[in-house]
Every structure is written in C-alpha cells, then in structure tokens.
Amino acid sequence: MLPVLRGPVEADVAIVGAGFTGLSTALHLAEAAPGLTTIVLEAEEPGFGASGRNNGQVIPTLTRPDPDDLVARLGPERGERFVALVRDSAAFTFALIRRLGIDCEAVQAGWIQPAHSPERFERVSRKRFEQWSRRGAEVELLEPRRLAERLGSEAWCGGWAARTGGHLNPLAFARGLARAAVARGVRLFARSPVTGLERRGTSWRLATPSGSVEARRVLLATAAYSGPPTGALARTFVPFRPWMLASEPLGENVRRSVVPGGEAVSDTRADLRFLRWTVEGRLVSGGALALPLHERARLGRRVGELLARAFPPLAGLRFAFAWTAEIALTPDRHPHLLALGPELYAWIGCNGRGVALATALGPHLAALLTGGDERALPLPLERPKPIPLAGLAAVLVRLALPYYRWLDSRP
Ligand SMILES: Cc1cc2nc3c(=O)[nH]c(=O)nc-3n(C[C@H](O)[C@H](O)[C@H](O)COP(=O)(O)OP(=O)(O)OC[C@H]3O[C@@H](n4cnc5c(N)ncnc54)[C@H](O)[C@@H]3O)c2cc1C
C-alpha cells in the first residue's frame, strides 16, 4: 500500500496527479536524472482519474486536428516534431509496456476508425490516411468491402486504420507505471491531495492535509481533475464525462464474428460509437455523451441496441459494468503545454485521446523538469487562457446530444 504524505519534505521536482501523465513523467525523470528527488502526490490512488477508467484504446492520432492542422498551427519544424510524437505514441506505449514488463492485457492489434457515411469516408478517412501516410505512419485505407470484413459488419462505409494502435487494461497499466516509477526511486504518495500551492522564494510549497513538499519545479498532471489549488489551469478546459460499459465474457462464436482481428474501434461520429474486446472476451464500449447517474440503464440499453444493429451476433447484449470519469476538452480541441508560473507546468486537452499521448509526453515533460531547453519541446509553452463562462460551457456540453446527432446526420 502506498504511503500518505506526512510532515514536510523537500524535492527537486513535485508532480501532482498519478495518471499516465504524472507517472510516465516521473518514471522517465527517474531514469534520465536518477540524482534528482521526484515526489508524486496523488489525491486518491494511481489511476483514479481518467487513466484508470478510460476505454483502453491506444490511438496514435488526436480526436480532431489532423497532421496538416498541427503543422499549420505550430509551424513546420515544431509541428512535424509533434506530429511524429503523435504518430509514434502508440508504438512508444506498447514498447514501454514490454520494456517494463507491465501485465496490463496489452494487445497491439491496431486501431480502426470506421466512417459513418460515404461522405465522411471520402472527406475524413481518405484525408487522414493520406496525411498520415505522407508522414510515414503505418496506416491503411479500408474501402467499404475491406472494412466490412475487418469489422464483421456492413454498418459503416469504409474507414482507415493505424496498425500501431491497440488496447490495454488502463488501470493495470497505471498501476504498472506506478510500480516501475517507485522501483526507480520516485516517492509516490497516495491519498495526499494538494490543497494549496504557493511560491516561496525560488521554490514552490505544496500543502496536503498532513504534510507539505517544497520543490523547485512542479508539474500539475491533474488534467480534468484540476481543482482550485491548480489556479488558472482549472479554467482552461471543459470537463466532460462519457460512460464506459463492459459485458460479461461472450462466447467464442461471437468473438470470432465481431471485430475478429481484435482491433480497437472508434468511429467518426460526434456521438461516438466505439468498442474493443478484453483478453477474457468482454466487450467494452460506452456512450460518449454525459448522462445523469439514474440514466445508466437507459444508456446500456441504447448502446446494446446500436451495437446489435451493427453486429447481429450481439443481439440481446447486456452490460454488467458501467463507470465514468472526466475528460478535459479544450475549445480548439488541441492539447496545450502551459507555463503557469516560474517552473510550474501543466499540459491540458487530451480531448479523449490521452492513453498514448500522455504516456509519450512523459519523456518530454521530464526533460522540461530537468531544466531542458524549451525549444526542444514538441509543443510551445503557452500562458493559460481561461475560458470565459467555463462553468456554463460545462453545463452546455452535457446537453449537447441533439446537436451531436444533428452533426452526425450531415454529410
Ligand atoms: C471515460 C473515458 C474514456 C476514455 N477513453 C480513452 C481511450 O479509449 N483512449 C484514449 O487515448 N484516451 C481515452 N480517454 C482519455 C484518457 O483517459 C486521458 O487522456 C488520460 O488518462 C489522461 O491522463 P492524465 O494523467 O493526464 O490525467 P488523469 O488520469 O485524469 O489523472 C489526474 C490525476 O490527478 C489527481 N489529482 C487531481 N487533483 C489533485 C490534487 N489537488 N492533488 C493530488 N492529486 C490530484 C486525480 O486524482 C487523478 O488521479 C478517456 C477518458 C475518459 C474519462
């Protein structure tokens, strides 16, 4: 069991949050600079946030911006560097799991994005395939017939796939990263929420209910769970809570006919359809739209019906488990690396694609925390831009289902 922070301690680096961002950064910091003291403070347990409760799809793309958008925004040199990081993020994640020997049901069977209309296939799938191929990514264009064979369904209209993608058990991955970080000398404290953060001379003081850390450099790896102690960071995103659902293990016949290659699948809809198998044969899916707690059963029925319509062998599908967690959406759907104060950093804006991205950002955030050159970073360091009426935006995003469906019905 991990300890709670008690009493005052000093560190070179303090990381707040033990999700993939905090843990991958701490691990790479311990490996690159073993002489530095790194402390991770987690409010609950490692993986408590989105990292332990996501769908486990390892996806080497962002949700909305494509490679050309990233280059247009970041410039040719840094843009291509960031594109390469995203392109290699899934391969990086699986290689890290193999290197550390983490037992997390990792399956690198690929990731498929089916298009939900012929227009999206022409406009989205072809564009993404073309832009990623141009950058040397291992991608395939799946014409409608080929996609139908790969999925075992004719419900979509072609798509594209990234061969380096796949899926894993996210909580097992987070716990494995935590163990590896601790084994390399990182001091990880659980049940130690940071309640205060203040500048003291040339360092930062982080207060928890029963202790404090004095550190020169700080990373806020709190993502969508960033609360008041994180200052302006908490107002730079809109939190969003999709539901995840898992079935009981299904029979071998069903498994052989629904996505028989075992890829992770998430389509082009805004009201996203997604699924993957676990190694023991559970189907993990969900609804990307926020619902109040009492509507969980309705969501399960709806997702079950939608999946059964696409995959007849899933008729009567019922879900045995449901859970949820918070995603950080940014207004422009881009990830942002933030300088919140002297040697106080964060990144925000996974926009639902953070398993591979947060893990792959780890070494770069570690370099920043050892005083590395900012120009070498894959993203520019920005000042935080609080969203006006962030609270209202969070309410509106919960009511967005009809708007998303309207978007999905358009070519
Ligand atoms: C339901 C869901 C499904 C998703 N599915 C996918 C998917 O299939 N594929 C994909 O690529 N991405 C997916 N994502 C996104 C992905 O999970 C996240 O991008 C990623 O896990 C973010 O990791 P993180 O470490 O930055 O943040 P988190 O994992 O959210 O970690 C933040 C941590 O900070 C801690 N914390 C907050 N405040 C404090 C404090 N004051 N003191 C101490 N600790 C604090 C929290 O307890 C938490 O553990 C999904 C997200 C959700 C919510």
Half-sphere exposure of 22 (CA within 13 A, CB side): 39
Summarize the confidence of residues 37-60 as an average pLDDT: 98
| Ligand 1 pocket member 326 (CB < 6 A) | yes
Summarize the confidence of residues 44-63 as an average pLDDT: 98
Q: How confident is the model at residue 407 (pLDDT cuts 50, 70, 90)?
A: confident
* pLDDT in the model for residue 390: 74
- CA 164 / ligand 1 centre spacing (Å): 22
Those residues with Cβ within 8 angstroms of residue 101's Cβ, 6 or more apart along the chain or in another chain: none
DSSP character at residue 50: G
Q: Give the predicted TM-score (pTM) of the model.
A: 0.96
The region, left, alpha or beta by phi > 0 then psi within -120 to 50, assigned to residue 53 is alpha
* pLDDT in the model for residue 290: 54
* pLDDT in the model for residue 89: 98
364-389 tens-digit pLDDT = 999 999 999 999 999 999 999 999 87
- For the CA of 174, the closest atom of ligand 1 is 29
Half-sphere exposure of 236 (CA within 13 A, CB side): 26
* pLDDT in the model for residue 221: 98
| Ligand 1 pocket member 15 (CB < 6 A) | no
- CA 326 / ligand 1 centre spacing (Å): 7
| Ligand 1 pocket member 329 (CB < 6 A) | no
Indicate if the pLDDT at residue 409 is higher than 90. Answer: no
* % of the chain at pLDDT higher than 70: 96
* pLDDT in the model for residue 299: 84
Half-sphere exposure of 14 (CA within 13 A, CB side): 28
Neighbours of 226 (CB within 10 A): 24
* pLDDT in the model for residue 260: 98
Q: Please, what sign has the CA dihedral across residues 259, 260, 262, 263?
A: negative
Candidates 51, 61, 92, 266: which one to mutate for ligand 1, based on the most atoms within 8 Å of Cβ?
Answer: 51
Give the DSSP letter string of 147-196. Answer: HHHHHT-SSS--EEEETT-EE--HHHHHHHHHHHHHHTT-EEESS----E
Residue reference for tokens 């899934």: 90
**Residue among 171, 180, 173 nearest 27 (CA):** 180
* pLDDT in the model for residue 236: 95
Indicate if the pLDDT at residue 56 is higher than 90. Answer: yes
- For the CA of 193, the closest atom of ligand 1 is 42
- For the CA of 242, the closest atom of ligand 1 is 1
Q: How confident is the model at residue 139 (pLDDT cuts 50, 70, 90)?
A: very high
* pLDDT in the model for residue 294: 62
Mean of the per-residue pLDDT values of the chain: 94
199, containing H or E segment: strand 196-200
Instruction: Map out the domains of the chain with their CATH numbers.
Output: 7-54+171-237+330-392 (3.50.50.60), 242-324 (3.30.9.10)
158-202 tens-digit pLDDT = 999 999 999 999 999 999 999 999 999 999 999 999 999 999 999
**Residue among 216, 186, 178, 220 nearest 32 (CA):** 186
- CA 53 / ligand 1 centre spacing (Å): 8
386-401 tens-digit pLDDT = 998 777 777 777 666 6
Least confident of 64-73, 202-211, 340-349, 397-406: 397-406
288-330 tens-digit pLDDT = 665 565 667 788 888 999 999 999 999 999 999 999 999 999 9
* pLDDT in the model for residue 388: 85
- For the CA of 22, the closest atom of ligand 1 is 25
* 33 SS3 class: coil
Candidates 53, 55, 187, 197: which one to mutate for ligand 1, based on the most atoms within 8 Å of Cβ?
Answer: 55
Long-range contacts of 254-257 (CB under 8 A, 24+ apart): 254/313, 254/314, 255/281, 257/152, 257/311, 257/313
Length of the chain in terms of residues written: 411
* pLDDT in the model for residue 297: 75
Candidates 326, 327, 340, 361: which one to mutate for ligand 1, based on the most atoms within 8 Å of Cβ?
Answer: 327
| Ligand 1 pocket member 54 (CB < 6 A) | yes
CB-CB contact of 411 with 119 (8 Å): yes
**Residue among 82, 83, 104 nearest 93 (CA):** 104
* pLDDT in the model for residue 293: 57
* pLDDT in the model for residue 292: 60
* pLDDT in the model for residue 408: 77
| Ligand 1 pocket member 169 (CB < 6 A) | no
* 288 SS3 class: coil
Summarize the confidence of residues 231-253 as an average pLDDT: 94
* 344 SS3 class: strand
* pLDDT in the model for residue 289: 60
Least confident of 59-63, 79-83, 294-298: 294-298
Candidates 236, 350, 359, 361: which one to mutate for ligand 1, based on the most atoms within 8 Å of Cβ?
Answer: 350
* pLDDT in the model for residue 389: 76
- For the CA of 23, the closest atom of ligand 1 is 25
- Residue 316 CA: distances (Å) to CA of 156, 191, 245, 282, 310: 21, 41, 15, 14, 13
Summarize the confidence of residues 340-356 as an average pLDDT: 96
- For the CA of 357, the closest atom of ligand 1 is 11
CB-CB contact of 104 with 176 (8 Å): yes
Summarize the confidence of residues 87-99 as an average pLDDT: 98
| Ligand 1 pocket member 24 (CB < 6 A) | no
Token pair listed for 274: 């997604």
